[in-house]
Structure 1
Amino acid sequence: MSRTVPLMLQLSAADPRPISRQIIDAIRLQIASGELPVGAQLPSVRGLAKQLTVNPNTIAKAYSELSNQGWLDSRQGLGLFVAAPRQQLSDDERERRLGIAIDSFVAEVVGLNYTKREILDRMDAELKPVLGQTHSKRRA
């Protein structure tokens, strides 16, 4: 039987994203970077809710969305596990979603008074651990 992998997630009340979105984004990043390997078992809804001191429904919502997106597999009676990579989106849909993400990012950073070089250097540093993996085109 698999051993549950502890999730080290940082949640912030100052973050404009809802708590469930922060959890989803953090888990997706850990999977994409390889920090959570394929087959790793995630903590139970109640266990993670207790660890993060959030409502169990918030964890259930995040886990459900990750499962629906293909990031997690539910195994009856055993729990949730990191799913094997599979291409779920067409190239057109991937391109559309990338465009939306970039547009949103640009709208957020344009007024922060950083130079283009500072922004690109920061993006490179943030993406390097994720896109440096062999499964960089894992999922959108």
Structure 2
Amino acid sequence: MHMNFAIAPSDPTPIYRQIVEQVRRQIAGGVIGPGKELPSVRAVAQEHAINPMTVSKAYSLLEAEGLLARRRGMGMVVADHPGQSDNAQRQSLLRPSLQAAAQQARQLGLTAQAALAQFEECLKETHQEERQ
């Protein structure tokens, strides 16, 4: 399985946290399910030119939360019962990103309508990329 991480080195959020949040969202959203293998620490580190310890830290945190499990010969996989992935949990995972985007829109002087139009366009682009 090839899992794409969107790592933003210039983001003030630490890289390991970016990885943790992306995996949480993909599990909560049902994008990756129980038993699904995650890319190796080395593969993620090489692909994004980051320290392997950063990836290892992210995976270890997710394992401690019960979202991931180590499988001999496979590496890290999504745990058999990674917790509830209900709508409220998915929304709570999205909220911090939306709050940051709302603050940026306000600082740029955008109306709510203009910001929502941008968000809808981003969603459409993301869905098109997933289909390719």
Q: Shorter-chain TM-score: which interval?
A: 0.5 to 0.7
**Correspondent of 1:43 among 39, 43, 52:** 39
- CA RMSD across the alignment: 3.3
Name 1:137's counterpart in structure 2. none
Of 14, 21, 40, which residue of structure 2 is paired with 1:25? 21
**Structure 1 residues 113 and 69 mapped into 2: Cα distance closer, same or farther (>3 Å)?**
farther
Per-residue Cα deviation, 1:41-92 (whole angstroms, up to 9, x for no partner): 11221222122221110000111112222321223453211123324xxx9x
Gaps of 5+ in 1: 130-140
In structure 2, relative to structure 1, the CA distance for the partners of 1:111 and 1:6 (3 Å cut) is same
* Structure 2: segments with no counterpart, 5+ residues: 127-132
1:11 equivalent to 2:7? Answer yes
Percent of matched pairs sharing the same residue = 35
1:41-80 superposed matches below 5 A: 41-80=37-76
Q: How does 1:84-95 map to 2 (within 5 A)?
A: 84-87=81-84
* d(CA) in 2 for partners of 1:125, 1:63: 32
Paired amino acid for 2:14 = P
Q: Would you say how many aligned residue pairs link Structure 1 and Structure 2?
A: 118
Higher helix share: 2
Change (3 A) 1:31 1:116: same
